[in-house]
Amino acid sequence: MMKTIGFLGCGNMGGAIARAVCKATEPENVFLANRTAAKAEALAAELGCQTATNAEVAGDCDLIFLAVKPQMMEAMLEPLRFILAERSNRFVLCTMAAGLPVARIQEMAGGDYPVIRIMPNTPASVGEGMIQYCSVNVTAEEEEAFCQLMAPAGRLDAVAEGMIDAASCVSGCGPAWVYQFIEALADGGVACGLPRAKAQEYAAQMVLGSAKLVLESGKHPGALKDAVCSPGGSTIQGVRVLEEHGLRGAVMDAVLAAYDKTKEMGKG
């Protein structure tokens, strides 16, 4: 049903999803197409899958990942519309473009095709992604097959399409802000005398472990924060400084700024 899988685009996100999919299916059934052919060739050599042209992927693959940036989507799909329309066998399109609704993808592709819209993030490349998805005209069997293919990428969650943009601004954009935080923690460690490599390792593992504790304990982050803060201790002094500098307000504003931009991109 989803035997052959094609990627139109092998950038950071397309590459991350291709790596995951190649763990769930035979890599020789995965076809990579990219504007810069060398990028597709390098990834295909690494994963053991095959390269193809955009036209070959559009004409032959059962599941087609549209892995280009939102502003490039229309130009990529325009020359493929006729190929998709000529197909006699069923296929599913999978878009990961922020801000572009399923209806817009169908319009660009030139038909009322089955579409799965996903919002992945870069940690999918190491199997710890957070991937929200919704679908239109997709059967329950196709959705199940898709989820099995995507399982090596991380955690999947089916949501209404109206929630996808908001989700993208938490888990899609969020890694960039977490990396800023990890870098800042490491800088602080270096300022206190730690070697850079150790400071970075300690900060990254601490963030990983803290996130795992939130997911596995089910406790409110505030309660977990309170448990670290001893009366009269050093942690609460750090909390006080972060509150003075408006950490929580700044993070909320970052999410809202990303949300506004995502909505703006969808109007293009």
| pLDDT tens digits, 78-116 | 999 999 999 999 999 999 998 899 999 999 999 999 999
- Per-residue pLDDT at 132 exceeds 80: yes
**What are the start and end residues of each CATH 3.40.50.720 domain in the chain?**
5-159
DSSP for residue 193: T
Q: Which CATH number fits domain 172-266: 3.30.565.10, 1.20.120.450, 1.10.3730.10, 3.40.50.300?
A: 1.10.3730.10
Per CATH, the number for 5-159 is 3.40.50.720
Task: Please give the structure tokens belonging to residue 134.
Answer: 């919704």
pLDDT in tens, 23-56: 999 999 999 999 999 999 999 999 999 999 999 9
Q: Could you give the CA distance from residue 112 to residue 57 in angstroms, rounded to a whole number?
A: 19
Cα 122-128-130 angle, rounded to 5 deg: 70
Paired strand residues for 135? 116
CA 267 → CA 96, 110, 115, 259, distances in Å? 16, 19, 19, 13
CA 6, CA 57: separation in Å to the nearest integer? Answer: 5
**Phi-psi category of residue 51: left, alpha or beta, with phi > 0 → left and psi -120 to 50 → alpha:** beta
Cα 136–99–3 angle (5° rounding)?
A: 45
The pLDDT of residue 168 is above 80 = yes
Q: What is the pTM of this model?
A: 0.91
Tell me the mean pLDDT in the region 237-249: 98
Nearest by Cα to 8 from 71, 48, 56: 56
Question: For the chain, where do the domains classified as CATH 1.10.3730.10 start and end?
Answer: 172-266
Pairing relation of β-strands 30-33 and 154-158? unpaired
